[in-house]
Structure 1
Amino acid sequence: MTYQHLLAAIAIDEHGEGVAQRAKALAAQFGARLSIVHVVEYIPLETGEALMAAPPDLAAQLQEQARTRLHELSVRLGLESAQLRVASGGVAAEIHRAAKELGADLIIVGHHPRHGLSALFSHTEEDVVQRARCDVLAVCLTRD
């Protein structure tokens, strides 16, 4: 099986850059299209009595900053041909939404191996794998 459309879900940091580089290499190897998504996570604000969503202007500002940084990363890595997308909301849900809308047949995510108590809690990459309707590649972000 060869993949036709890869979706790399990245954080905009050094780890995300590594995932994007791996996705670029795989897309070239398969002759596939590449899309990259970064999700600006929902940010609740505590006001003392109730949790409120971030004000619309703050959410828009965070999205615009993410678009700028994602574009800079794509230029630095030579990903000009990749389709870039910034979404806002729950990370796993937005990755699945993007994969469905784009018709991706492989999702690429970063994975941090977990040990001790942190292994007991749910993590984004595990949520992506559990609900995926296509193949998922988890790129190990820490090497011992």
Structure 2
Amino acid sequence: MSNEYKHVLVAVDLTKDSHLVLERALPIAERNGAKVSIIHTLEPLGFAYGGDIPMDLTSIQDQLDSHARERLGDIATPHGIANEDQYVVVGMPDSEIHRFAAEHDVDLIVVGSHGRHGFALLLGSTSTGVLHGAQCDVLAVRVGADDSEE
């Protein structure tokens, strides 16, 4: 069994911290000669509004998708990640990341973690969901540290 990574998946939320997550993943991929894919997950608008709005949200979802693809390109392209390795998917983030990882033989997922405490930690987060259901290694990169903690 090899302990080298062959495919690294970087999951980002498109905030300014996304660069930090990607910059942590890239040297690991480079040391292992691994392919790098980057993914962002959009939750369906129907989830956000609970399906209570009697209107077609397709055009709004399409606009969100287009904007997310543009932002993902802004993050990934300067680091040499090709368009075909940049993915925007719609669904629940942890489930979609697990699905993608299984379908594309990902052996390391790198995700940002905001290091929540207390009630926010109990309620969970995307990074916690990814960690608990992953069939491969997961690296949670600490991001968004609160300046008051320093």
Q: Percent identity?
A: 34
4+ residue runs of structure 1 moved beyond 6 angstroms?
none
Match of 2:69 in 1: 67
The equivalences for 1:39-118 within 5 A come to 39-44=41-46, 46=49, 50=52, 55-80=57-82, 83-118=85-120
Instruction: Name the residue aligned to 1:33.
Output: 35
Counterparts of 1:80 and 1:21 in 2: how far apart (Å)?
Answer: 16
Q: CA deviation at 1:54?
A: 6.6
Count of residue pairs the alignment pairs up: 143
Show the counterpart of 1:16. Answer: 18
Q: Secondary structure at the match of 2:86?
A: strand
Q: Which stretch shows the higher mean deviation, 118-127 or 77-86?
A: 77-86
Deviations 1:28-55 (A, max 9, x none): 11111100001112223649x9256871
SS in 2 for 1:50: coil
Q: For the residues of structure 1 that align with 2:67 and 2:49, how far apart are their CA atoms?
A: 23
Residue pair 1:111, 1:125 contacting (<8 A) in 2 also: yes
2:5 to 3, 13, 30: 3
Tell me, which stretches of 5 or more residues in structure 2 are unaligned? none
TM-score of the two chains, using structure 1 as the length reference: 0.88
Q: Distance in 1 between matches of 2:142 and 2:116?
A: 11
Give the distance between the partners of 1:72 and 1:23, measured in 2 at CA.
17
For 2:19, give the aligned amino acid.
E
2:119 paired with 1:120: no
Q: Deviations over 1:70-102 (max 9, x none)?
A: 112222333348711110111111111111121
Contact 2:45-2:57 within 8 A present in 1 as well? no
Q: CA 1:112/1:21 → structure 2, altered by over 3 Å: closer, same or farther?
A: same
